[in-house]
Structure formats: structure tokens, C-alpha cells
């Protein structure tokens, strides 16, 4: 069993970055990123109130804020926020309160029950 520590960086609320952000470990972002955000390993977390004006890409992706430029997840994706752009993923954990303003390009389509409007995976 791997006992290596979990590495995650915090881009706190109030930070504003102009340019792309790339990390080889997890990131939790609460600020404004004017560019793409890419995480090669671990979690990419876009916190409530955060805005990414570019593409968000990671292994595990959790969106609680806003992404204006699309999302790509290689292992898991959960959207509780807003995405404006393409949504690409391998598996979908949940879209409980998602407001997708995009084309869902996965092979796991979202279906809606006509009687309730609830989403099925």
C-alpha cells in the first residue's frame, strides 16, 4: 500500500492569475484564473465562487464554482457548479445540481426521466 503523503496546493480566495496553471499534484482553487488549469495527478477542485476562464483538466475533477472553457476528467468528474464549454470524462460521479451550458461528449450519456426531470447515469 502506498503511504506517500497527499500533495495539494491551495490557490486561495482573492487570488487572480493571468496565464495557464499546470501542476503534477492536486490543486484547490478559490480564486480567478484567466487561463487553462491542468492537474496531471490527483484532484482539481474549483471551489464555490471560483472562476476558471479557460479549460479545466485533471485526473479527478470537482467543480463547485464556474468554468468558462470546458472540462476534461480522466478518472472521475463531479459538477455541483457551472460549466460553459465541452464536458469530457470517462466516468461521471454525479451531476446533482449541474447547470451544463455545453455539449456532453462522454460515452456515458445523461438521460432525463420525463415525469420528474431527474437525471440518470
What pLDDT band is residue 5 in, cutting at 50, 70 and 90? confident
DSSP per-residue string spanning the chain: ---PPP-EEEE-TT-EEES-EEESSEEEE-SEEES-EEESSSEEEE-TT-EESS-EEEEEEEESSEEES-EEEEEEEEESSEEES-EEES-EEE-SS-EE-S-B-SSS--EE-TTT--EE-
Lowest mean pLDDT among 15-29, 36-50, 85-99, 102-116: 102-116
Instruction: Say if residue 35's pLDDT is above 90.
Output: yes
Q: Write the pLDDT tens digit of every residue in 57-110.
A: 999 999 999 999 999 999 889 999 999 999 988 755 555 555 455 455 554 434
Amino acid at each position: 500500500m502506498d503511504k506517500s503523503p497527499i500533495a495539494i496546493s491551495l490557490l486561495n480566495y482573492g487570488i487572480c492569475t493571468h496565464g495557464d496553471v499546470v501542476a503534477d499534484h492536486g490543486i484547490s482553487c478559490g480564486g480567478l484564473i484567466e487561463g487553462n488549469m491542468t492537474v496531471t495527478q490527483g484532484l482539481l477542485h474549483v471551489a464555490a465562487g471560483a472562476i476558471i476562464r479557460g479549460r479545466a483538466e485533471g485526473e479527478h475533477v470537482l467543480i463547485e464554482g464556474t468554468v468558462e472553457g470546458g472540462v476534461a476528467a480522466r478518472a472521475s468528474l463531479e459538477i455541483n457548479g457551472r460549466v460553459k464549454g465541452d464536458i469530457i470524462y470517462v466516468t461521471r460521479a454525479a451531476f446533482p445540481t449541474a447547470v451544463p451550458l455545453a455539449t456532453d461528449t462522454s460515452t456515458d450519456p445523461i438521460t432525463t426521466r420525463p415525469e420528474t426531470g431527474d437525471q440518470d447515469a
